[in-house]
Structure formats: structure tokens, C-alpha cells
Amino acid sequence: MAWKIEGQYFENCSCDVPCPCTVSLDLGADRDRCNAFLVFEVESGEVDGVDVSGLTVAAMIDTPKVMSEGNWRLGVLIDDRASDEQADKLAAVFGGQLGGPMGALAPLVSEPLGLERVPMEVSHENGTHRIKVGDDGEVEVQEVVSVGREDGKPARLVSIFHPAGEDLTIARATKSHLSAFGIDFAFEGGSGFANPFSWAA
């Protein structure tokens, strides 16, 4: 059956601003591995007839330096407000089983880390995108406005291959600390991106 979800996306990763892996998966990360935390706030959506609006999904990714070579580790966090049915449908979308952008990336994943259902609270205000995860996890990114840009429009990365879309707003992490799937994630000052997303298959 067909499905569609759309909403707000943002991320933080271990690379410097802007992440070279996002420019192209074959450029190589700034460090020995690339750790990324991807946040998808689903504002509206339906998967196989199940309404998934108002829920958040996040992905923890750990990859070798050159992402295009594969051997990714991927864990998915699902909003604890989701019903079992909603969680199953979202897991299928974000695990790549139902095609779409995550389906295109699925061949790169060699080690699925599973699913965890956790409380997540997302907010967006004046170019700042924030998620609180569980009791003490938090990631916040601030959109970058170039010095001298008087209209306040943030910098953009365009014409790329990325699950959230081909154009992204460049951001920088102002807060970054959480643990999931045995991975300690803390990359304040690191690369970030943000953009609305719309998926369908």
C-alpha cells in the first residue's frame, strides 16, 4: 500500500561545519568514523492506512569514514506516544522495508541496532531546532546565517543526495549529548542541517 509522511527534519553529526559526507557520501568524514543523529518530526502522515501524524522518529547512525562503502550501524528511536501499530508502521518506513529514501540507503546498513521507544520532545524557534530524548538527552542545532547577510536568510547546501531532500539549511550544534544503542553521542559545535521533508512511496 502507498504511504506518505512529511514534517520537519534536522541532524547533528561528528563532522565539522559543513559535513563533507553530506556534500557527497564518498568524500570521507572529518574523523575516523561518522556518527550522526537524524531527527524526523512527522507533522502529518499515513502509512498503510495508519495515521502517524504528530510523532517523532530519530535515527542513530555510526559509519566508517567513507559512508558510500557501507558497513553502517543504524538504530531507530520511536516516540513513546506511538501505539504499537503506529510504531510498527514507522519502523518499517525508517528501516527501509517500505521503500522510499530509507529504502535507498538500506543496502549500506550491515548492522541494524534495533528499535527503542523513548520520550521525545521537539521544538523549532527562530532557526533553532531542538530535541529532548528521555531524561537527559538533548540535541540542538542553530541555522547558520553568513556574516554580512542582512536579510537573515541562512546558508544552504543545494543539489545533494540526502534522505531529507536535495537542499538543506546549514546549521551548527549548540547542544549535543545523548546515549542510545550503546553509543555515546556528544558533538556540540559539530555539523548540523535542517529542512522540511516530504516522503512517499
pLDDT digits (tens, 9 = 90+) for 98-118: 999 999 999 999 999 999 999
Split at pLDDT 50, 70, 90, the class of 1 is low
Output the CA torsion sign for 176, 196, 53, 4: negative
What is the domain partition of the chain in residue ranges? 3-200
pLDDT digits (tens, 9 = 90+) for 159-168: 999 999 999 9
